[in-house]
Chains A and B, each alone.
Chain A
Amino acid sequence: MATDRELKEIGHDEFDPVGTLTLITVYFLILVGMWVLTYFVEFLGNGPTVVG
């Protein structure tokens, strides 16, 4: 049996998906970490390199 629920209206900035923000932040940090690892560690650290 369906019960009546109380509906609460919130404003635009009151919507606060902290979980989503945390998840995206973690993805973002992984992305930055992988870029640093592939470019600075694996590529630039992989000398000798073609210089001319």
Chain B
Amino acid sequence: MNVHTYEKIWLVASLFLIVGFIATVVYGAAGAGIAMVDASGGTVDSTSLSENERFGEPGVERVGDGEYEVTVVARQFMYQPDPIRVPADSRVTFYVTSADVIHGFQVVGTNVNTMVIPGQVAKITVDFDEPAEYGIICNEYCGQGHHDMEGKLVVVPEDEYGGDDA
């Protein structure tokens, strides 16, 4: 088969591109440690969240050295708790579920983003290295107050963090 030189160049370049795309995504997962939101959070009875062991009391809980768990209930048109306060230099696992309809949970300006589905628990772990103040918005249309649905996430300096309820 007689393939023109330019065509050979193009074929090699296309293969390079495909391998490059796959390689960067593999690097993201294996090297940079990017994780996808999966079903590991399990399920919950969305009609009786107040009786649920975890979701009965939404809030921040320290579970280890520099490790925190944040339980968040999204409902029309707010997040509980609000604001969420966590210390810097910590690893925070969010457990998010909805009490009514499908919501979104996005920490604005970051890759921290998940759907919030009634009956499902979205479990996402995030490292917060620096103090910062983030907005949280709902990015799934959830009703007439959707545009007002927002929360706040404050990452305070470690020495200013006064505890779970501060």
| B-binding residues in A (CB < 8 A) | 12-13, 15, 17, 20-21, 24, 28, 31-32, 35, 39-40, 43-44, 46-52
In the assembled complex, which residues on chain A have CB atoms less than 8 Å from the CB atom of B127?
A: 48, 51
Nearest-CB distance from A12 to chain B (Å)?
Answer: 6
Contacts A17-B6, A24-B10, A35-B21 given: A50-B128 contact, CB under 8 Å?
A: no
Would you call the interface of chain B mostly helix, strand, loop, or mixed?
mixed
Question: Quick one: closest B residue to A28, CB to CB?
Answer: B13
Query: Which residues on the B side are within 8 Å of A21 (C-beta)?
Result: 6, 9
B107 in the interface (beta carbon within 8 A)? yes
Q: A31-B17, A39-B28, A44-B28 are in contact. Are A50 and B6 (CB under 8 A)?
A: no
For residue B113, give the distance in angstroms from its CB to the closest CB of chain A: 8
CB proximity of A38 to chain B, nearest CB, Å: 10
Q: Which residues of B contact A (CB under 8 A)?
A: 2, 4-6, 9-10, 13, 17, 20-21, 24, 28, 32-37, 91, 93, 107, 109-114, 124-129
Chain B residues with CB under 8 A of A48: 107, 110-112, 126-129
Residue of B nearest to A15 (CB): B4
User: A44: which B residues are within 8 A, CB to CB?
Assistant: 28, 32, 34
Give Cα distance in the complex from A2 to B67, angstroms: 85
Quick one: which of A12, A17, A47, A52 contacts B111, CB cutoff 8 A?
A47
B3 → A minimal CB distance (Å): 9
Whether A49 contacts B93 by the Cβ 8 Å rule is: no
The 4 A-B residue pairs with the shortest CB-CB distance, nearest first, are A52-B125, A49-B111, A48-B126, A50-B124
Which chain B residues border A43 with CB–CB below 8 Å?
A: 28, 111
- Min CB distance, B83 to chain A, in Å? 16
Cα separation A45 to B86 with both chains bound (whole Å): 22
